[in-house]
Amino acid sequence: MSEHLIAPSILTADFLHLEREIEMVNRSEADLLHLDIMDGVFVPNLTFGFPVIRQIKSVSQKPLDVHLMIVDPDRYLEEYRDAGADWLTVHYETCEHLHRTIQKIGELGMKPAVSLNPHTDVALLEPVLADLNMVLVMTVNPGFGGQKFIEASYAKIRKLKQMIKDAGARTLIQVDGGVTQENIGSLIQAGVNVFVVGNTVFSAPDPIQTISNLKQAL
């Protein structure tokens, strides 16, 4: 994989024609398929469970980047692995024993990642940075697609990038929320490696071309 990756989020896809939407992503230059898992408790929305993930896995030719916005994710780590998750992201805010959770995700053969809500300081991840494949910086408040990018995220991303450099780690930085063709260049300069895109792709007249445009911006 290249240093910069595009991960379309199916949160804003047409769920009535989900297989068609995934096959579009398969034909595109996208690198990952991003799945937002919400429980209606940690975030005010519900999405889908294991049967749907397994169906998505059976169609997707891209690795599944599964973002858990749920309380007590430790209960289900093996189930997400079995359903087809390749990358598994848990929220800092929901993990009582974060290091143990990260270790378990890796032991199960998935790439471990941790997400931070907009109000959470990246400095809190310093003890575990070297154990992470990726940090997901939420650039909107989690729960719904189509929100406006939080401008204060740039300083947070730059701080995280310096922390990774100081630690001698190879941890990737992912952003989710409000990523567009207009701000992707500034995000790259700030240090972002992986871009979750929802509305920008699935609301476009030509989603495959839009993904290609985003890749060229990288």
Report residue 121 as tokens: 């300081």
**Catalytic choice (65, 82, 131, 176):** 176
Work out the average pLDDT over 100-109. 98
Nearest 5°: the CA angle 121, 126, 132 is: 105
Torsion, CA 38, CA 79, CA 139, CA 158, rounded to 10: 160
Q: Which of 14, 31, 36, 39 is catalytic?
A: 36
211, containing H or E segment? helix 207-217
What is the b/e burial string over 107-142, where b = at least 16 CB atoms within 10 angstroms of the residue's CB?
eeebbbbbbbbeebebeebeebbebbbbbbbbbbeb
pLDDT average, residue stretch 111-135: 96
Task: Specify the CATH architecture of the domain 5-217.
Answer: Alpha-Beta Barrel (3.20)
The burial of 170, by beta-carbon neighbours within 10 Å (0-12 exposed, 13-18 middle, 19 or more buried), is given as exposed
Which residues are 90's β-sheet partners?
114
pLDDT tens, position by position, 20-43: 999 999 999 999 999 999 999 999
Radius of gyration of the chain (CA): 16
For residue 218, what pLDDT is reported?
72
Closest Cα to residue 66, out of 47, 39, 44, 90? 90
Average of per-residue pLDDT values in the chain: 94
Q: Is residue 174 helix, strand or coil? A: strand
The fraction of the chain above a pLDDT of 70, given in percent, is 97
Percent of the chain with pLDDT over 90: 87
Statement: the pTM of the whole predicted model exceeds 0.85: yes
| Predicted pLDDT at 1 | 46
Is 36 considered catalytic here?
yes
pLDDT of 181-212, one tens digit each?
899 999 999 999 999 999 999 999 999 999 99
Whether the Cβ atoms of residue 26 and residue 13 lie closer than 8 Å to each other? no
Kindly give the pairing relationship between strand 134-138 and strand 111-116: parallel
Closest C-alpha among 215, 147, 212, 218 to residue 176:
147
Please choose, from the candidates 103, 59, 105, 58, the residue with its C-alpha nearest in 3D space to the C-alpha of residue 86. Answer: 105
Question: Among residues 78, 69, 126, 124, which one has the least CA distance to residue 101?
Answer: 78
Q: How far apart are the first and last CA of the chain?
A: 13
